[in-house]
Each structure stands twice: as C-alpha cells, then as structure tokens.
Amino acid sequence: MFPAIAACLILVSLGILHIYWAAGGAAGKDAAIPTKDGRPLFSPAPIGTAVVGLILFAMAALVAAKIGWLAAPALQRPVHVGIWLLAILFLLRAIGDFRYVGFFKRVRDSRFAKLDTVAYSPLCLLLAALLAISASSR
C-alpha cells in the first residue's frame, strides 16, 4: 500500500503546483518549460495549466480508488487498467522525446534540461515504478 500512497501524494502535490501556477503563481514556473536558445518552446495558458492540475488530481483519485480510499468496487478492472496506463505514461515521459525532455534528450544546456535530468525525469520514473507496483498489488 505504501507505493500507492506515495504515488497519490506526489500526484496531488503536482496537481496543487499546477493550480498554483494557473492562479498566477510564479515560483518555479520558469524552470518547468523546455527552452530552445533561451526561449520557451510553448507558453501554456492558465486554463491549460489548470486542466493539467485537474488531470493530476484525477490520476491521484484513480490511485486512491485502487487502495480503497474512494469507493469504486464496480470499477475495479478499469481502475487496474488505468493505473497500468499511467505507469506506462510516466515511463514514456521519463524516456522522453529524444530532443528536449527525458533521460535521452539531446538538448542539455538549458535550466529546464538540467532540472529534467536531476529531478523531473527521475520523478517520472519513480512514479512509473510506484504505479506499476500499485497496479501489481492487491
């Protein structure tokens, strides 16, 4: 149960961070977007950032349903499959796009790239492992 609790807490924390950014918070935001030649590759709108936050909360709810924190007995199989899909998603994010994000990125000199190497991609790999363990357990 510990892996699921840890994954749930991480996902909620990330959701809160995205809602904070969507509401106008700036701390850490400049290091959260990949850049090329010092310019952000995209500029997320507040509504898009809020949607990402809500998706992260939904992911946490899925994990919470798996461990019984949310009652969803009729959805046991979809929850199980959903957690496996999340594990795969976070593993793919950790691997990356082979250019700007992930362990195998080519662009490595930006602030984002350095943080991605030491924090973001390892966190995605950790989430993938925690979710896979959670999906594998009863």
**HSE on the CB side for 2, CA within 13 Å?**
0
pLDDT of residue 10: 98
* Per-residue model confidence as pLDDT tens digits over 97-119: 999 999 999 999 999 999 999 99
> What is the average per-residue pLDDT within 42-53?
96
pLDDT of residue 45: 95
Cα 60 to Cα 41: distance, rounded to the nearest angstrom: 28
Cα 75 to Cα 19: distance, rounded to the nearest angstrom: 28
In this predicted structure, the answer to whether residue 138 has a pLDDT above a threshold of 80 is no
* Per-residue model confidence as pLDDT tens digits over 54-77: 999 999 999 999 988 988 778 889
> What is the average per-residue pLDDT within 1-11?
96
User: What residue ranges do the domains of the chain occupy?
Assistant: 2-136
pLDDT of residue 103: 97
Against a cut of 0.85, is the pTM above it?
yes
Phi and psi for 23 in degrees, rounded to 5? -85, 0
pLDDT of residue 72: 77
pLDDT band for 85, please (50, 70, 90 cuts).
very high
